[in-house]
Amino acid sequence: MSKYYHITTYGCQMNVHESEKIAGILSGLGYESCENAEDADIVVFNTCCIRENAENHAFGNIGMLKKLKARKKDMIIAVGGCLTQQIGKADVLHSKFPYVDIIFGTHNLGKLKDYILKKQTRKKAVIEIEEDCGAVCEGIEPLRTSYPNAWLNITYGCNNFCTYCIVPYVRGRERSRRSEDIIKEAKYLVSLGYKEITLLGQNVNSYANGTDDISFPELLKKIAAIDGKFRIRFMTSHPKDFSEELAKVIGEERKICNLVHLPVQSGSDKILKAMNRKYTVSEYMDKIGTLRKYIPDCAVTTDIIVGFPGETEEDFLQTCELVKTAEYSSAFTFVYSRRDGTVASKMEGQIPEEVSKDRIMRLIEIVNAQTRGQSSEYVGKIVEILCEGYDEKRKLYFGRDESGKMAYFSGTADMFGEFVNVKIGLANGVSLFGEVING
């Protein structure tokens, strides 16, 4: 009889890829994927704790499984990911949800198979949260779910300790995979027909820092030298480590998408300092200038936090100003969320929620107006789109251009996973609509 698994993922692309590794482990144990948790023999929650609402989300969904578990006693529920790795959180999870069978941290994903086998022979929950031992996770074959894109880890962890951020505490110190392992995996992915490879790390620019391995721009060049037509993306770039050499390489190598995600976080030098971001607004703008010197049409996207402790109306207006001058093609905006254990959580001047909410609404309006303006410039142009799928509601195929713009078009099933040229006829908000012109 078939056995089924169901995975719920929260958080960033790194977690999405880690869920693919979890799926790989489960499929190795003979489980198949299923749509609904009700049909599953094992349910996994791969959690995030970057902001309070990410945590609440996971808590809510784990809580909802109580009744199902009471009906299906043999079903295994496992909770992993960043939330479990916070100090004391595994105990909170265990006492709040005693029916959860396995709780594992971010540093022991590789042992999930053992935990499942262990749980099958005993009643007591298996709870293991290991400390960061600097290990690089190798050898788990992921079951990829994002064709034609493939996620590829290059670094794990983070050393930057931005004062608001929980990631260094739950993901440990930065460590890089060996370039030969990365290149081997990239070659394999291209040979399997993947058309886009997205390199993942909290700060890809500091790849291999302090080791004798090659630098990030050199790594990019080696991946770009792999035969075949495919795109290379990467995230995230910390502005403090973004070099002129990197801008040059992006400009020179056709396979590397003309898009850089360069989170600024704030447009106020005072707030950037308090955030421990290690750059000023003018240094940041210089980096964008360098990037556009080598790649005039390079798209830049960003992350912004509003309501960081001590942020005044004046600081916020500086952020709005920066957004206007940087000409982002899109921006992810967040209300600051106080995270236990971080330096900022103890800072004076925490901003009331209604003030932050008002600021984020005003900021979103500026960002949206900018994005709409940029979308309308696409009308009449021909863009190369990598077809990612079919939208059932719109009854149209969709995909992105190299700068990440989403376009919809009528097409045929054989276009899935292929590059097609689309002539844009209409821009509606962030989305573009057009016709395929190369059949």
Q: Which residues bind ligand SF4 (CB under 6 A)?
A: 158, 160-162, 165, 167-168, 202-203, 238
The stretch near ligand SAH (CB under 6 A) out of 37-45, 73-81, 335-343, 411-419 is 335-343
The 3-9 sheet, strands edge to edge: 31-33, 3-9, 42-47, 76-81, 102-104, 126-128
230-289 residues in contact with ligand SAH (CB under 6 A) are 236, 238, 263, 265
Contact characters 292-321, ligand SAH, x per CB under 6 A: -----------x-x----------------
171 contacts ligand F3S (rule: CB under 6 A): yes
- C-alpha distance from residue 382 to each of 40, 105, 402, 425, 433 (Å): 45, 47, 12, 9, 11
Calpha distance 143→267 (Å, rounded)? 40
Rank residues 275 and 295 by Cβ distance to ligand SAH and give the closer one: 275
Span from 71-79, 223-231, 278-286, 329-337 in contact with ligand SAH (CB under 6 A): 329-337
Is residue 54 involved in binding ligand SAH (CB under 6 A)? Answer: no
Task: Based on the shown chain and the rule CB under 6 A, indicate whether residue 14 belongs to the binding site for ligand F3S.
Answer: yes
| DSSP H helical ranges for 43-130 | 52-63, 66-71, 82-85, 89-96, 112-120
Site for ligand F3S in 28-57 (CB under 6 A): 48-50
How big, in percent rounded to 5, are the helix, strand and coil portions of the chain?
Answer: 40, 25, 40
12 forms part of the interface with ligand F3S (CB under 6 A): yes
* Preceding amide of 352 cis, omega within 30: no
CB of 12 or CB of 223, closer to ligand F3S: 12
Name which position in 5, 336, 398, 409 contacts ligand SAH (CB under 6 A): 336
Q: How far is the CB of 234 from ligand F3S (least distance, A)?
A: 16
Cβ at position 74, least distance to ligand SF4 in Å: 39
82 forms part of the interface with ligand F3S (CB under 6 A): yes
| Residue bearing tokens 């989403």 | 406
Q: How many Cα atoms sit within 13 Å of 74 on the Cβ side?
A: 7
387 forms beta bridges with: 399
CB 365, min distance to ligand SAH, A = 19
Closest CA to 300 of 290, 309, 314: 290
How many residues bind ligand F3S (CB under 6 A)? The answer is 12
Tokens of 223: 């991946």
Give the separation between CA 99 and CA 250, rounded to whole angstroms: 50
Dihedral angle, C-alpha 62, 64, 70, 72, nearest 10 °: -80
Rounded to 5 degrees, what are φ and ψ at 82? -60, -35
The pattern of x and - marking residues 177 through 216 that bind ligand SAH according to CB under 6 A reads: -------------------------xx-------------
Can you tell me which of 99, 147, 334, 390 binds ligand SAH, judged by CB under 6 A? 334
User: Quick one: 160 or 337, whose CB is closer to ligand SF4?
Assistant: 160
CA-based radius of gyration for the chain: 22
Strands 259-261 and 299-306: parallel
11 binds, among ligand F3S, ligand SF4, ligand SAH, none (CB under 5 to 8 A by kind): ligand F3S
Q: Rounded to the nearest 5 degrees, what angle is found at the Cα of 415, between the Cα atoms of 414 and 420?
A: 150
Q: Taking the alpha carbons of 24, 29, 32, 36 in that order, is the dihedral positive or negative?
A: negative
| Binder of residue 82, out of ligand SAH, ligand SF4, ligand F3S, none (CB less than 5 to 8 A by kind) | ligand F3S
Provide the terminal-to-terminal Cα distance of the chain, rounded to the nearest Å. Answer: 44
Helix ranges (H only) for 279-335 are 281-294, 313-326
| Residue 305 contacts which entry, ligand SAH, ligand SF4, ligand F3S, none (Cβ below 5-8 A, type-dependent) | ligand SAH
14 binds, among ligand SF4, ligand F3S, ligand SAH, none (CB under 5 to 8 A by kind): ligand F3S
By the criterion CB under 6 A, which residues form the site for ligand F3S? Answer: 11-12, 14-15, 48-50, 82, 166-167, 170-171
By the criterion CB under 6 A, which residues form the site for ligand SAH? Answer: 50-51, 164-165, 167, 202-203, 236, 238, 263, 265, 303, 305, 334, 336-337, 339
